[in-house]
Amino acid sequence: MADLSVDLGFRTLKSPLIAASGTFGYGEEFLPFFDLDILGGVIMKGIFREPRPGNPPPRLHETPAGLLNSIGLAGPGSEKLQESIRRLRARTPVPIIVNVCGEDDDEFVAVAETFSAMAEVAMLELNISCPNVRQGGACPAQDAGHTARLVGRVKERIRKPLIVKLSPNVGDIVGVALAAQDAGADALSLVNTFLGLAVDIDARRPVFANIYAGLSGPAIKPLALRLVREVCRKAYVPVIGIGGISSGRDVLEYILVGAAAVQIGTINFREPAAALRITNEIEAEMERLKIGNLSEIRGQLQT
Ligand code: SIN
Protein backbone atom coordinates (compact mmCIF):
# COMPACT_ATOMS: atom_id res chain seq x y z
CA MET A 1 0.00 0.00 0.00
CA ALA A 2 1.30 3.48 -0.88
CA ASP A 3 1.92 5.70 2.14
CA LEU A 4 0.44 9.11 1.33
CA SER A 5 1.66 10.87 4.48
CA VAL A 6 3.87 13.94 4.09
CA ASP A 7 6.15 15.53 6.65
CA LEU A 8 6.12 19.33 6.80
CA GLY A 9 8.76 19.34 9.52
CA PHE A 10 6.46 20.91 12.09
CA ARG A 11 3.58 18.51 11.37
CA THR A 12 2.86 15.30 9.47
CA LEU A 13 -0.21 15.28 7.22
CA LYS A 14 -1.92 12.04 6.24
CA SER A 15 -2.11 13.19 2.60
CA PRO A 16 -0.35 15.77 0.41
CA LEU A 17 -3.77 17.04 -0.72
CA ILE A 18 -5.11 20.17 0.97
CA ALA A 19 -8.34 21.87 -0.12
CA ALA A 20 -7.47 25.43 -1.20
CA SER A 21 -9.00 28.50 0.37
CA GLY A 22 -11.95 29.97 -1.48
CA THR A 23 -12.74 26.75 -3.33
CA PHE A 24 -14.02 24.66 -0.46
CA GLY A 25 -16.39 27.00 1.39
CA TYR A 26 -16.06 26.42 5.11
CA GLY A 27 -15.67 22.65 4.71
CA GLU A 28 -19.22 21.74 5.76
CA GLU A 29 -20.51 22.21 2.21
CA PHE A 30 -18.35 19.27 1.06
CA LEU A 31 -19.28 16.79 3.82
CA PRO A 32 -21.99 15.14 1.65
CA PHE A 33 -19.48 14.32 -1.10
CA PHE A 34 -16.67 12.41 0.66
CA ASP A 35 -14.98 11.82 3.99
CA LEU A 36 -12.92 14.99 4.45
CA ASP A 37 -10.55 13.11 6.73
CA ILE A 38 -8.77 11.68 3.66
CA LEU A 39 -7.30 15.18 3.15
CA GLY A 40 -4.13 16.65 4.61
CA GLY A 41 -6.17 19.72 5.50
CA VAL A 42 -9.02 22.03 4.63
CA ILE A 43 -8.40 25.76 4.26
CA MET A 44 -11.29 28.07 5.05
CA LYS A 45 -12.28 30.90 2.69
CA GLY A 46 -10.24 34.01 3.59
CA ILE A 47 -11.50 35.88 6.63
CA PHE A 48 -11.39 39.45 7.94
CA ARG A 49 -12.45 40.69 11.37
CA GLU A 50 -15.83 41.98 10.14
CA PRO A 51 -18.25 40.63 7.52
CA ARG A 52 -17.44 41.74 3.95
CA PRO A 53 -19.78 41.88 0.97
CA GLY A 54 -16.95 41.43 -1.56
CA ASN A 55 -16.93 42.76 -5.12
CA PRO A 56 -20.06 43.46 -7.22
CA PRO A 57 -21.11 40.78 -9.74
CA PRO A 58 -20.05 39.29 -12.06
CA ARG A 59 -17.46 37.57 -9.92
CA LEU A 60 -16.60 34.55 -12.07
CA HIS A 61 -15.75 34.18 -15.76
CA GLU A 62 -14.71 30.95 -17.45
CA THR A 63 -11.81 30.86 -19.89
CA PRO A 64 -10.95 27.89 -22.18
CA ALA A 65 -8.73 26.26 -19.58
CA GLY A 66 -9.31 28.24 -16.45
CA LEU A 67 -11.44 30.46 -14.28
CA LEU A 68 -11.15 34.17 -13.59
CA ASN A 69 -12.47 35.27 -10.22
CA SER A 70 -13.03 38.62 -8.63
CA ILE A 71 -14.74 37.66 -5.40
CA GLY A 72 -13.07 40.36 -3.33
CA LEU A 73 -12.72 38.15 -0.24
CA ALA A 74 -16.40 38.19 0.68
CA GLY A 75 -16.97 36.57 4.05
CA PRO A 76 -19.00 36.43 7.26
CA GLY A 77 -16.37 37.88 9.62
CA SER A 78 -14.31 36.21 12.34
CA GLU A 79 -17.09 35.55 14.84
CA LYS A 80 -19.25 33.58 12.40
CA LEU A 81 -16.22 31.67 11.08
CA GLN A 82 -15.40 30.55 14.62
CA GLU A 83 -18.90 29.03 14.83
CA SER A 84 -18.43 27.27 11.46
CA ILE A 85 -15.09 25.86 12.56
CA ARG A 86 -16.60 24.44 15.76
CA ARG A 87 -19.40 22.82 13.73
CA LEU A 88 -16.92 21.36 11.23
CA ARG A 89 -14.68 20.02 14.00
CA ALA A 90 -17.67 18.24 15.56
CA ARG A 91 -18.10 16.31 12.29
CA THR A 92 -14.53 15.55 11.13
CA PRO A 93 -11.01 15.41 12.54
CA VAL A 94 -9.47 16.83 9.30
CA PRO A 95 -6.87 19.54 10.07
CA ILE A 96 -8.52 22.96 9.74
CA ILE A 97 -6.45 25.83 8.37
CA VAL A 98 -7.64 29.45 8.53
CA ASN A 99 -6.82 31.82 5.66
CA VAL A 100 -6.11 35.11 7.44
CA CYS A 101 -6.79 38.48 5.72
CA GLY A 102 -6.59 42.12 6.71
CA GLU A 103 -7.31 45.57 5.32
CA ASP A 104 -4.06 46.64 6.99
CA ASP A 105 -1.27 44.99 8.97
CA ASP A 106 -2.99 45.56 12.32
CA GLU A 107 -6.03 43.66 11.11
CA PHE A 108 -3.92 40.77 9.78
CA VAL A 109 -2.32 40.48 13.24
CA ALA A 110 -5.66 40.71 15.08
CA VAL A 111 -7.35 38.07 12.90
CA ALA A 112 -4.34 35.77 13.19
CA GLU A 113 -4.40 36.08 16.99
CA THR A 114 -8.10 35.26 17.14
CA PHE A 115 -7.73 32.00 15.21
CA SER A 116 -4.40 31.06 16.76
CA ALA A 117 -6.28 30.91 20.06
CA MET A 118 -8.76 28.29 18.76
CA ALA A 119 -7.90 24.69 19.71
CA GLU A 120 -9.80 23.46 16.63
CA VAL A 121 -7.42 25.27 14.26
CA ALA A 122 -4.26 23.42 13.16
CA MET A 123 -2.46 26.18 11.25
CA LEU A 124 -2.89 29.61 9.73
CA GLU A 125 -2.35 30.64 6.12
CA LEU A 126 -1.56 34.33 5.72
CA ASN A 127 -3.28 35.62 2.60
CA ILE A 128 -1.01 38.44 1.50
CA SER A 129 -1.63 37.71 -2.18
CA CYS A 130 -5.29 38.25 -3.12
CA PRO A 131 -5.31 40.29 -6.37
CA ASN A 132 -8.96 41.33 -6.05
CA VAL A 133 -9.02 43.73 -3.14
CA ARG A 134 -7.31 46.76 -4.65
CA GLN A 135 -7.64 47.94 -8.24
CA GLY A 136 -4.63 46.81 -10.24
CA GLY A 137 -4.17 43.76 -8.01
CA ALA A 138 -1.84 45.34 -5.44
CA CYS A 139 -1.21 43.21 -2.36
CA PRO A 140 1.45 42.94 0.40
CA ALA A 141 3.12 39.94 -1.32
CA GLN A 142 4.32 42.26 -4.08
CA ASP A 143 6.82 43.84 -1.74
CA ALA A 144 9.49 41.78 0.04
CA GLY A 145 9.96 44.40 2.78
CA HIS A 146 6.25 44.60 3.54
CA THR A 147 6.00 40.79 3.50
CA ALA A 148 8.86 40.49 6.01
CA ARG A 149 7.43 43.11 8.37
CA LEU A 150 3.95 41.63 8.31
CA VAL A 151 5.06 38.00 8.69
CA GLY A 152 7.34 39.00 11.58
CA ARG A 153 4.54 40.83 13.38
CA VAL A 154 2.08 37.97 12.92
CA LYS A 155 4.59 35.31 14.03
CA GLU A 156 5.28 37.19 17.24
CA ARG A 157 1.61 36.99 18.24
CA ILE A 158 0.60 33.45 17.34
CA ARG A 159 1.28 29.94 18.61
CA LYS A 160 0.32 28.01 15.47
CA PRO A 161 2.36 27.12 12.37
CA LEU A 162 2.16 29.89 9.78
CA ILE A 163 1.92 29.28 6.04
CA VAL A 164 2.44 32.38 3.90
CA LYS A 165 0.56 32.41 0.58
CA LEU A 166 2.52 34.09 -2.21
CA SER A 167 1.52 35.94 -5.36
CA PRO A 168 2.74 35.06 -8.87
CA ASN A 169 2.23 38.70 -9.90
CA VAL A 170 5.73 39.81 -8.91
CA GLY A 171 9.08 40.22 -10.61
CA ASP A 172 11.02 38.15 -8.08
CA ILE A 173 8.93 35.56 -6.27
CA VAL A 174 12.05 33.94 -4.79
CA GLY A 175 12.99 37.23 -3.08
CA VAL A 176 9.54 37.50 -1.52
CA ALA A 177 9.57 33.82 -0.52
CA LEU A 178 12.92 34.18 1.25
CA ALA A 179 11.74 37.38 2.96
CA ALA A 180 8.72 35.49 4.33
CA GLN A 181 10.88 32.53 5.37
CA ASP A 182 13.48 34.70 7.11
CA ALA A 183 10.72 36.57 8.95
CA GLY A 184 9.46 33.30 10.42
CA ALA A 185 7.10 31.61 7.96
CA ASP A 186 6.91 27.89 8.74
CA ALA A 187 5.82 27.07 5.18
CA LEU A 188 5.08 28.84 1.91
CA SER A 189 2.09 28.22 -0.34
CA LEU A 190 2.25 29.26 -3.98
CA VAL A 191 0.81 30.44 -6.17
CA ASN A 192 -2.31 32.50 -5.71
CA THR A 193 -4.07 33.51 -8.94
CA PHE A 194 -2.47 35.24 -11.93
CA LEU A 195 -3.77 38.70 -12.69
CA GLY A 196 -5.83 38.59 -15.88
CA LEU A 197 -8.37 40.56 -17.89
CA ALA A 198 -11.64 39.58 -19.56
CA VAL A 199 -13.32 41.91 -22.08
CA ASP A 200 -17.01 42.21 -22.97
CA ILE A 201 -16.94 43.27 -26.64
CA ASP A 202 -20.63 44.25 -26.71
CA ALA A 203 -20.30 46.60 -23.78
CA ARG A 204 -16.72 47.49 -24.74
CA ARG A 205 -15.92 47.17 -21.09
CA PRO A 206 -13.98 44.84 -18.83
CA VAL A 207 -16.14 41.97 -17.58
CA PHE A 208 -15.20 42.74 -13.97
CA ALA A 209 -15.90 45.97 -12.09
CA ASN A 210 -12.39 45.76 -10.62
CA ILE A 211 -11.05 45.49 -14.25
CA TYR A 212 -8.52 42.73 -13.51
CA ALA A 213 -9.26 39.37 -11.90
CA GLY A 214 -7.39 36.27 -10.75
CA LEU A 215 -6.86 33.33 -13.15
CA SER A 216 -6.72 29.77 -11.80
CA GLY A 217 -7.22 26.25 -13.18
CA PRO A 218 -5.29 24.05 -15.65
CA ALA A 219 -4.19 27.09 -17.71
CA ILE A 220 -1.81 28.18 -14.96
CA LYS A 221 -0.27 24.80 -14.07
CA PRO A 222 2.93 25.10 -16.16
CA LEU A 223 3.45 28.69 -14.93
CA ALA A 224 2.87 27.73 -11.30
CA LEU A 225 5.10 24.64 -11.55
CA ARG A 226 7.99 26.80 -12.71
CA LEU A 227 7.55 29.24 -9.82
CA VAL A 228 7.24 26.42 -7.29
CA ARG A 229 10.45 24.87 -8.63
CA GLU A 230 12.31 28.17 -8.38
CA VAL A 231 11.22 28.76 -4.79
CA CYS A 232 11.93 25.14 -3.79
CA ARG A 233 15.49 25.46 -5.07
CA LYS A 234 16.19 28.31 -2.65
CA ALA A 235 13.87 27.97 0.35
CA TYR A 236 14.47 25.59 3.26
CA VAL A 237 10.91 25.73 4.63
CA PRO A 238 8.37 23.38 3.02
CA VAL A 239 6.53 24.62 -0.05
CA ILE A 240 2.89 23.82 -0.73
CA GLY A 241 2.30 23.89 -4.49
CA ILE A 242 -0.88 25.40 -5.92
CA GLY A 243 -2.04 25.87 -9.49
CA GLY A 244 -4.23 23.87 -11.84
CA ILE A 245 -3.96 20.51 -10.10
CA SER A 246 -6.70 18.16 -11.28
CA SER A 247 -5.16 14.68 -11.30
CA GLY A 248 -2.85 12.40 -9.35
CA ARG A 249 -0.20 12.87 -12.04
CA ASP A 250 -0.34 16.64 -11.49
CA VAL A 251 0.34 16.09 -7.79
CA LEU A 252 3.43 13.99 -8.55
CA GLU A 253 4.70 16.71 -10.89
CA TYR A 254 4.58 19.26 -8.06
CA ILE A 255 6.30 16.85 -5.66
CA LEU A 256 9.05 16.16 -8.21
CA VAL A 257 9.83 19.88 -8.52
CA GLY A 258 10.15 20.06 -4.73
CA ALA A 259 6.73 20.71 -3.18
CA ALA A 260 6.08 18.96 0.15
CA ALA A 261 2.31 19.08 -0.31
CA VAL A 262 -0.22 20.66 -2.68
CA GLN A 263 -3.53 22.48 -2.66
CA ILE A 264 -6.38 21.65 -5.01
CA GLY A 265 -8.64 24.56 -5.89
CA THR A 266 -10.56 25.25 -9.08
CA ILE A 267 -11.28 21.55 -9.71
CA ASN A 268 -13.43 21.53 -6.53
CA PHE A 269 -15.98 23.80 -8.26
CA ARG A 270 -16.41 21.44 -11.22
CA GLU A 271 -16.11 18.17 -9.32
CA PRO A 272 -16.89 18.37 -5.59
CA ALA A 273 -15.47 14.88 -4.91
CA ALA A 274 -12.30 15.57 -6.93
CA ALA A 275 -10.11 15.06 -3.86
CA LEU A 276 -11.33 11.47 -3.53
CA ARG A 277 -10.59 10.69 -7.18
CA ILE A 278 -7.19 12.41 -7.02
CA THR A 279 -6.28 10.49 -3.84
CA ASN A 280 -7.00 7.21 -5.63
CA GLU A 281 -5.00 8.38 -8.63
CA ILE A 282 -1.98 9.30 -6.47
CA GLU A 283 -2.05 5.83 -4.91
CA ALA A 284 -2.30 4.18 -8.35
CA GLU A 285 0.60 6.25 -9.72
CA MET A 286 2.72 5.49 -6.66
CA GLU A 287 2.08 1.78 -7.07
CA ARG A 288 2.81 1.94 -10.82
CA LEU A 289 6.09 3.80 -10.20
CA LYS A 290 6.92 1.70 -7.09
CA ILE A 291 7.04 4.71 -4.77
CA GLY A 292 6.50 3.85 -1.11
CA ASN A 293 6.29 7.42 0.17
CA LEU A 294 6.29 10.74 -1.74
CA SER A 295 9.44 11.85 0.13
CA GLU A 296 11.33 9.42 -2.16
CA ILE A 297 10.64 11.63 -5.19
CA ARG A 298 10.34 15.07 -3.60
CA GLY A 299 12.64 17.47 -5.49
CA GLN A 300 14.01 14.61 -7.60
CA LEU A 301 13.36 16.24 -10.99
CA GLN A 302 16.36 15.34 -13.16
CA THR A 303 17.57 18.18 -15.36
C1 SIN B 1 -11.06 36.54 -3.77
O2 SIN B 1 -11.80 36.41 -2.78
O3 SIN B 1 -11.14 37.55 -4.50
C4 SIN B 1 -10.03 35.51 -4.10
C5 SIN B 1 -9.17 35.16 -2.95
C6 SIN B 1 -7.71 35.21 -3.21
O7 SIN B 1 -7.28 35.32 -4.36
O8 SIN B 1 -6.94 35.15 -2.26
pLDDT value at 281 more than 90:
yes
Q: Is 210 in the pocket of ligand 1 (CB under 6 A)?
A: no
Which sequence spans correspond to the domains of the chain? 6-54+73-193+217-296
CA 46 / ligand 1 centre spacing (Å): 7
- CATH of the domain spanning 6-54+73-193+217-296, picked from 1.10.10.10, 3.90.1170.50, 3.30.300.130, 3.20.20.70: 3.20.20.70
User: pLDDT band at 44, cuts 50/70/90?
Assistant: very high
Residue 227 pLDDT > 90, yes or no? yes
Q: Is the pTM of this model over 0.85?
A: yes
How confident is the model at residue 135, as a pLDDT? 83
pLDDT at 91: 98
Mean pLDDT of 49-72: 97
Contacts 24+ apart (CB under 8 A), 6-11: 6/40, 6/260, 6/261, 6/294, 6/295, 7/260, 7/295, 8/161, 8/186, 8/187, 8/238, 8/260, 8/261, 9/186, 9/237, 9/238, 10/161, 10/186, 10/187, 11/95, 11/122, 11/123, 11/161
Ligand 1 closest atom vs CA 71: 3
pLDDT tops 80 at residue 293: yes
| Average pLDDT value for the chain | 98
- 232 labelled catalytic: no
- Calculate mean pLDDT across residues 19-27: 98
pLDDT, mean of residues 51-68 = 97
pLDDT at 1 over 90: no
